[in-house]
Structure 1
Amino acid sequence: MQAAVLVEQALALIANDAPVDHVAERIHDATEAPDQTGVDGAKVRDALELVERPDAGEQEIAQARGLLLAAVGGRLASAPTAGPAVGTETGTSVVLDEFRPARGIRNGGDIALLVLGVAAMGSGLFLARRWRPPHTIRELEHRAVGKGDPR
């Protein structure tokens, strides 16, 4: 298999928060691949050293990601050459990090939306109570039956 493809797979594993041993295995396979065309082997080995550290954290993984991207010249093997993407080409050469939106109340805008939502629910309940019909349906049915309605 081509080293460039294995480097791209390692980048995808990093972007999807795969376990570090899976990433290290893929990078190790890239260093031993028979076809090293388009890949800087020294940068791949440096990335492997970063990932294989026992205390490898998010910072080391981010550095390894940068080294792997630099090892392939910033262009992934699956990127289309020229013109529109056709067939199995995806049309992109960017591997994005996972999107993790903030949870809970984080700032004043969140608090304002929470207050507005509670106020809207309170206003709705108040208006429903205030403008309810004077008679319930049961009372109306009871009156209709009492007047000789043949129900």
Structure 2
Amino acid sequence: MAVCIAAAVLSVLAGAGPARAHGNESDQAAVLVEQAIALIANDAGADRVAERLHDASEAPDQMGVDAAKVQAAMELAEQPGAGAAELAQVRGLLLAAVGGQLASRPTAGPAVGSETGTSEVLDEFRPAKGVSNGGDVALLVVSVAVLVVGLVLARRWRPPHTLRQLEHGDEQGTR
């Protein structure tokens, strides 16, 4: 009981620590470039990509990164009105800046810890909405047909006593 009271008092008195927005930011330019590529793939916007590239250009560990290509990518991302076409060019420059080898690529053996197990950053998956092709139409027609057949068979093979109850009402309940 005393432990519960002490825990309740401590939870009220002990305030939350301050939040650090960039507490775990990497000091390796290759990791920051990979994060910028992921931001592009997930449509995070040119401003966030440019900020990550700025961090990559100032990172103390520049090993494995072509700084000139990162700088060119940063300038392209910082252009006013940078859209999807410019970000696609930025992505190509960044992949070239790290020699096509992402920092999280798998090493010998299985991926462990923070390794992703892949060296590819795929674009965001956006499936088509609604009926978009012949396969969708065929699936819709088959689904409706199966539903209609199921309802017809349920009505046809209904046990006789339930059919009488539905047609004449429950006579025992009215007495």
Shorter-chain TM-score: what band? 0.7 to 0.9
**Counterpart mapping for 1:35-46 below 5 A:** 35-46=61-72
Secondary structure of 2:164 counterpart: coil
Q: Give the TM-score of the pair, scaled to structure 2.
A: 0.71
What percent identity do the matched residue pairs reach? 68
Query: Tell me, which stretches of 5 or more residues in structure 1 are unaligned?
Result: 147-151
Q: Distance in 2 between matches of 1:35 and 1:140?
A: 83
Name which of 37, 45, 60 aligns with 1:19.
Answer: 45
Indicate how the Cα distance of structure 1 residues 106 and 137 shifts in structure 2: closer, same or farther if over 3 A, else same.
Answer: closer
1:31 maps to 2:57: yes
CA RMSD of aligned residues (A): 2.5
The aligned counterpart of 1:135 is 164
User: CA 1:49/1:103 → structure 2, altered by over 3 Å: closer, same or farther?
Assistant: same
CA distance, structure 2, for counterparts of residue 81 and residue 118 of structure 1: 50
> Could you tell me which amino acid in structure 1 is paired with residue 142 of structure 2?
L
Name 1:50's counterpart in structure 2. Answer: 76
Indicate which of 119, 136, 151 corresponds to 1:110. 136
Q: State the TM-score, normalizing by the size of structure 1.
A: 0.81
- Please state whether the residue corresponding to 1:94 is helix, strand or coil: coil
Which whole-Å CA distance do the structure 2 matches of 1:108 and 1:86 have between them? 43
Q: How far off its partner does 1:139 sit?
A: 5.6
Verify the 8 A CA contact 2:41 2:124 in the aligned structure 1: yes
Q: Distance in 1 between matches of 2:78 and 2:169?
A: 79
Structure 2 unpaired stretches of 5+: 1-26
Q: Distance in 1 between matches of 2:141 and 2:111?
A: 48
- Equivalenced residues, count: 146
Cα distance in 1, alignment partners of residues 123 and 113 from structure 2: 25
The 3-state SS of whatever aligns with 1:117 is helix
Deviations 1:39-71 (A, max 9, x none): 111111121122112222112111111111110
Higher relative contact order structure (alpha carbons within 8 Å, sequence separation ≥ 6)? 1
Letter in 2 for 1:107: N
Hey, what does 2:17 align to over in structure 1?
none
> How far apart, CA to CA, are the structure 1 residues paired with 2:105 and 2:143?
46
| AA in 2 matched with 1:16 | N
Which consecutive aligned stretches of 4+ in structure 1 deviate over 4 angstroms post-superposition? 137-141
Q: Give the CA deviation at 1:15.
A: 1.8
- Report the Cα distance in structure 1 between the residues aligned to 2:93 and 2:109, rounded to whole angstroms: 28
